[in-house]
Amino acid sequence: MYFEDFLPVIMFGLLACGLFTGFPVAFVVGGVGIAFGFIGMHYDVFSMIEFFNVPERIWGGAAENPVLVAVPCFIFMGTMLERSGVAEDLLKILELLLKRVPGGLALAVTAMGTIMAATTGIIGASVVMMSLMALPAMLRAGYQKELATGTIAASATLGILIPPSIMLVIMADLLAISVGNLFVGAILPGLLLSSLYFVYIIVRSSIQPHIAPRIADDQMVDNKTLMIMVLKGFVPPVILIVMVLGSIFGGIATPTEAAGVGAFGSLMLAVFNGRLNFQNMKDVCERTALTTGMIFFIFIGATTFSYVFRSLGGEHLIIAGVEYLGLNSWGLLVILMFTIFILGFFFDFLEITLIILPVFAPVVEVMDFGVHVEGRDIIYWFAILVAVNLQTSFLTPPFGFALFYLKGVAPKIVKMQHIYKGIIPFVMLQLIGLASVMAFPGLALYLPSVLLS
Partner 1 sequence: MRKLLEIADVCEWFPQKAGKLGAWLIVPLIIVIMYDITTRKLQFIQQAVLNSPLYEYISPTKLQEWEWHLHTALFLLALGYAYCNNAHVRVDLIREKCKDRTQAWIEFFGILLALFPYCLVIGIISLRFIELSYASGEISQSMTGLSQRWIIKSFLFIGLLLALLAGFATLLRHIVFLFGPAHLRDDVPMNMLTTAESAHLPRIEDEDLNREDDDPIVTSS
Q: List the interface residues with partner 1, window 125-154 (CB under 8 A).
A: 128, 131-132, 135-137, 139-140
Encoded amino acid at 280, one letter: N
- Residue 91 neighbours by CB under 8 Å, 6+ apart: 108, 109, 112, 133, 134
**Residue 267 interacts with partner 1 (CB under 8 A)?**
yes
Q: Does 398 bind partner 1 (CB under 8 A)?
A: no
Q: Which member of 11, 94, 101, 122 binds partner 1 (CB under 8 A)? A: 122
Does position 23 interact with partner 1 (CB under 8 A)? The reply is yes
Q: Which of 11, 61, 89, 111 binds partner 1 (CB under 8 A)?
A: 89
Does 42 interact with partner 1 (rule: CB under 8 A)?
no
* 270 Cβ contact list (under 8 Å, min separation 6): 80, 83, 84, 86, 276, 280
User: Contacting partner 1 (CB under 8 A), which of 97, 202, 257, 329?
Assistant: 257
String of contacts with partner 1 for each residue 269-288, x by CB under 8 A: -------------x--xx-x
What is the C-alpha to C-alpha distance for residues 181 and 436, in angstroms, rounded to an integer? 20
Q: CB within 8 A of 278, min separation 6: which ones?
A: none
381: contact with partner 1 by CB under 8 A = no
Binding mask 43-62 for partner 1 (x = CB under 8 A): --------xx-xxx-xx--x
Applying CB under 8 A, does 25 fall inside the site for partner 1?
Answer: yes
Decide if residue 369 touches partner 1 (CB under 8 A): no
Contact criterion met (CB below 8 Å) for 175 and 67: no
Q: Which is nearer to partner 1, 261 or 387 (CB)?
A: 261
Region 406-425 residues binding partner 1, contact defined as CB under 8 A: 408-413
- Contact flag: residue 92 with partner 1 (CB under 8 A): yes
Residue 64 in the binding site for partner 1 (CB under 8 A): yes
- Pick between residue 196 and residue 302 the one whose CB is nearest to partner 1: 302
How far is 336 from 363, CA to CA, in rounded Å? 9
Which of 264, 341, 369, 440 touches partner 1 (CB under 8 A)? Answer: 264
Q: Choose between 166 and 186: whose C-beta lies nearer to partner 1.
A: 166
CA dihedral 315, 166, 172, 426 (to 10 degrees): 80
Q: Least distance in Å: CB of 424 to partner 1?
A: 22
Where in 213-252 is the site for partner 1 (CB under 8 A)?
Answer: 219, 221, 225, 228-229, 232-233, 252
- Does the protein bind partner 1 through residue 256 (CB under 8 A)? yes
Site size toward partner 1, by CB under 8 A: 93
DSSP states of 379-441: HHHHHHHHHHHHHHHHH-TTT-HHHHHHHHHS-TTS-HHHHHHHHHHHHHHHHHHHHHHHH-T
Smallest gap from Cβ 323 to partner 1, in A, equals: 31
- Residue 356 DSSP label: I
Nearest-approach distance from CB 345 to partner 1, in angstroms: 9
Phi-psi label, residue 253: left if phi above 0, alpha if psi -120 to 50, beta otherwise: beta
Residue among 320, 313, 304, 405 nearest 15 (CA) = 304
Distance CA 91, CA 400 (A): 25
Q: CA–CA separation, 264 vs 334, rounded Å? A: 42
The answer to whether the beta carbons of residues 395 and 427 sit under 8 Å apart is yes
Q: What is the DSSP letter of 214?
A: P
Give, as ranges, the residues between 297 and 326 that touch partner 1 (CB under 8 A): 297-298, 300-301, 304
Interactions with partner 1, residue window 152-211 (CB under 8 A): none
Whichever of 350 and 363 has its CB closer to partner 1, that residue is: 350
Answer for which of 66, 250, 251, 321 binds partner 1 (CB under 8 A) is: 66
Q: Which is nearer to partner 1, 199 or 216 (CB)?
A: 216
Residue 178 CB neighbours (<10 A): 16
- The rounded distance, in Å, linking the Cα atoms of 41 and 308 is 11
Nearer to partner 1, 193 or 308 (CB): 308
Closer Cβ to partner 1, 288 or 393, answer by number? 288
Q: Smaller CB distance to partner 1: residue 250 or 321? A: 250
Among 10, 35, 243, 424, binds partner 1 (CB under 8 A): 35
Q: Does residue 248 contact residue 255 with C-beta atoms inside 8 Å?
A: yes
Report the distance separating Cα 71 and Cα 62, nearest Å.
11
